[in-house]
């Protein structure tokens, strides 16, 4: 169920709440078990959605998920303040450093990467023409929400907060994620989630990833957030603990960096996570994640041993099984495999390598054969007929359309003119020439 929090202390939040009630049909209920200012009193419900109002500001609400009945995702309808002009935005909450605006220092609310991507797409669809749509880095509280959550905001000043079209766009975008899961689907023990590190407050690289790939972004530490972390952390242990909590709150095993930060890369890798670049994210879009490369976790987020068999190592061109109680074995069984030679007996290997090429470059396994390029007019894959030397002379045949290697036929190389003349006897040199002269 989607839980929506409206704060009476936020004029933009109240305006969005009114638009939510206008664009959909709701049933009204009364919750007498909680005070009216803490989400009790009048409660609005529709299929898969529940809306409650609070007196406190969003960052000061403690455990808001407890006010709802079994929610899966929580959205704060809020205002955005800044010098960015008309803007619809979304972000996760938490503090990489000190807690200046709610929440706890070095703590994070559970992110909802997949829902964040969905709400950005929905705001693109509903946003008025004068408004931009984007995401922000992780900032301010609350950090103790209880379930995956995010802020969906309209900004950036009073005229936009009172704009009915902007409020309606945000309301429709929030309702569009009612049936969206907070996280991307699991693939062999991992998810297509990224932890963002570095960059500006409005995270252009990570917004580009959200819009143009099938990867989702969890928490994002902007440059100023990493500086706040360095200022707040007392030692390296505290610094590493914050990065570890950011990965856990994002349900991510991969990190994407905006700038060149060797020390931060070393920290991420020492914690057992992987740093990737934007090229990796784009190339793997649409390609299923292989199980042997995935890091697995249990239901509560603890790391589990790899699913690979103990002692099994795989290298390119070399397959070797190392027993756990001894060194690597040597012998014919563990010899490096040679490259397949041309011949009829290796057509199966060639087909296997072609299928693997299609799988790696087309996003899935395809049995469409991809012939290797050959010089124009000379190979068995040329567009026109190929001349072939046979015992009866030259004849034309059509090019072959399969991939079975064939032995090449070569024409004799013509002799140089001077050699022909010398051997014919016109010059007089050589034994045969002298014999003919006599």
Tens of each residue's pLDDT in the chain, 438 residues: 999 999 999 999 999 999 999 999 999 999 999 999 999 999 999 999 999 999 999 999 999 999 999 999 999 999 999 989 999 999 999 999 999 999 999 999 999 999 999 999 999 999 999 999 999 999 999 999 999 999 999 999 999 999 999 999 999 999 999 999 999 999 989 999 999 999 999 999 999 999 999 999 999 999 999 999 999 999 999 999 999 999 999 999 999 999 899 999 999 999 999 999 999 999 999 888 665 343 444 333 334 443 333 443 433 333 334 444 444 444 444 444 444 444 444 444 444 444 444 445 444 433 344 444 444 444 444 444 444 444 444 444 444 454 455 555 555 566 566 655 555 554 444 444 444 443
Q: What is the CATH number of domain 2-287?
A: 3.40.630.50
The whole-angstrom separation of Cα 125 and Cα 133 is 10
Helix (H) or strand (E) holding 135: strand 132-135
The pTM of the full predicted model, rounded to 2 decimals, is 0.68
The whole-angstrom separation of Cα 124 and Cα 119 is 8
Alpha helices in 9-163 (DSSP H): 11-23, 113-126, 158-161
Which residue in this structure is represented by tokens 């976790």?
Answer: 297
Summarize pLDDT for 38-86 with one digit per residue, the tens. Answer: 999 999 999 999 999 999 999 999 999 999 999 999 999 999 999 899 9
Residue whose C-alpha is closest to residue 43's, from 17, 12, 77: 17
Summarize pLDDT for 324-345 with one digit per residue, the tens. Answer: 444 444 444 444 444 444 444 4
Domain residue limits, the chain: 2-287
The whole-angstrom separation of Cα 182 and Cα 328 is 45
């Amino acid at each position: 169920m989607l839980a929506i929090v409206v704060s009476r202390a936020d004029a933009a939040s109240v305006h969005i709440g009114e638009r939510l009630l206008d664009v959909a049909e709701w049933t009204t209920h009364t919750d007498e078990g909680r005070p009216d200012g803490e989400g009790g009193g009048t409660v609005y419900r529709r299929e898969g959605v529940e809306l409650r109002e609070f007196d406190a500001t969003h960052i000061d609400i403690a455990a808001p998920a407890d006010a709802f009945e079994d929610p899966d995702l929580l959205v704060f309808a809020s205002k955005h303040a800044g010098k960015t002009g008309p803007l619809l935005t979304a972000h996760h909450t938490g503090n990489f450093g000190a807690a200046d605006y709610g929440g706890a220092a070095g703590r994070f609310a559970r992110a909802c990467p997949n829902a964040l991507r969905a709400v950005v797409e929905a705001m693109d669809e509903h946003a008025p023409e004068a408004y931009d749509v984007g995401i922000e880095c992780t900032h301010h509280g609350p950090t103790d929400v209880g379930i995956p959550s995010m802020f969906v905001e309209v900004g950036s000043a009073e005229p936009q907060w009172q704009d009915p079209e902007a409020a309606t766009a945000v309301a429709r975008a929030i309702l569009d994620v009612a049936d969206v899961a907070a996280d991307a689907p699991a693939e062999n023990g991992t998810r297509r989630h990224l932890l963002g590190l570095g960059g500006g407050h409005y995270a252009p690289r990570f917004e580009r990833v959200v819009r143009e790939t099938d990867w989702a972004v969890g928490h994002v530490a902007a440059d100023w957030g990493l500086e706040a972390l360095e200022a707040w952390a007392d030692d390296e242990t505290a610094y590493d603990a914050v990065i570890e909590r950011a990965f856990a709150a994002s349900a991510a095993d991969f990190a994407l960096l905006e700038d060149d930060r060797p020390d931060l890369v070393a920290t991420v890798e020492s914690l057992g996570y992987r740093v990737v670049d934007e090229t990796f994210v784009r190339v793997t879009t649409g390609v299923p994640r292989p199980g042997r490369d995935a890091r697995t976790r249990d239901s509560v987020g603890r790391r589990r041993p790899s699913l690979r068999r103990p002692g099994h190592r795989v290298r390119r061109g070399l397959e070797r099984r190392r027993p756990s109680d001894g060194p690597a074995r040597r012998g014919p069984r563990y010899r490096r495999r040679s490259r397949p030679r041309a011949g009829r007996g290796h057509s199966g290997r060639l087909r296997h390598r072609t299928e693997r090429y299609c799988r790696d470059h087309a996003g899935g396994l395809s049995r469409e054969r991809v012939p290797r390029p050959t010089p124009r007019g000379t190979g068995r894959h040329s567009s026109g007929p190929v001349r072939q030397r046979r015992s009866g002379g030259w004849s034309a045949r059509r090019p072959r359309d399969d991939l079975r290697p064939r032995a090449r036929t070569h024409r004799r190389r013509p002799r140089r003119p001077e050699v022909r003349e010398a051997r014919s006897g016109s010059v007089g040199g050589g034994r045969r020439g002298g014999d003919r002269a006599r």
